[in-house]
Amino acid sequence: MQLIGDEGYRALTTTRIEAITGVSRGLVSYHFGSKQGLIEAVIRHVQAAFVDHIVGLQRAEWSCGIDGVVGLVKGYLGQLLNDPRRSRVVLILTVESIAGQPALKAAIQLLNAVLRDSLREQLVQGQQDGSIRVDLDPTTEALVLAGILRGLTVQWLADPTGVELLRATDSVVALVNLAYKTG
């Protein structure tokens, strides 16, 4: 993850991994089979970290429904300040999947689906518990929220001193409450 985040996708070669880590090229190939296998392992790691840290924290601290949506927003954007590496890697690999490495598309699509599904699940639960308006389409709103979260992430990673992430997080929370909350 560090190599992708610091030097980009193209720098991820078995020779470069060997130089940085001291692990032999053969061992990398043995465990992952190919560069594609290694990238997919990185994406699975990022996905598991999202589910374990952000979704798990959200479920433990913010319950479900509107509070769950707010928890996911705070958790997603808050993790940037704690450890931006995962988000940086996801965005680099996303761009690569669009620009030059179509073999990455399926893995990136799955990663994006996990974010959208987590948001959609909370929106549906909120509609069921009465905390979120029933006239909303949870699938569409999850897509919009994921776009907001990814967009803020891109802006903050590109210009951390120019983006006040905590204020932006508060603004997204206010938007969520204004747009989705019942009553």
| Residue-range definition of the domain harbouring residue 77 | 35-180
- Residue (of 6, 28, 10) closest to 18 by Cα position: 28
Would the pTM of this model clear 0.85, i.e. be above it? no
Domain of 111, CATH number, reads 1.10.357.10
| pLDDT over 80 at 91, yes or no | yes
Which residue intervals of the chain are DSSP H helices? 2-7, 14-21, 25-32, 35-49, 56-61, 66-82, 85-99, 105-129, 138-158, 165-180
Question: What pLDDT shows up at residue 15?
Answer: 80
Residue 10 maps to a domain: no
Question: What pLDDT shows up at residue 153?
Answer: 94
26 beta partners: none
Residue 17 maps to a domain: no
d(CA 21, CA 19): 6
Residue 163 maps to a domain: yes
Residue 145 maps to a domain: yes
**What mean pLDDT do residues 1-10 have?**
76
Domain count, the chain: 1
pLDDT, one tens digit per residue, over 26-42 is 887 788 887 778 877 87
Residue 19 maps to a domain: no
d(CA 149, CA 135): 23
Residue 25 maps to a domain: no
132 beta partners: 181
Residue 85 maps to a domain: yes
For residues 43 and 126, the answer to whether their CB atoms sit within 8 Å is: no
d(CA 169, CA 65): 18
Residue 146 maps to a domain: yes
| pLDDT over 80 at 169, yes or no | yes
Mean per-residue pLDDT over the chain, rounded: 85
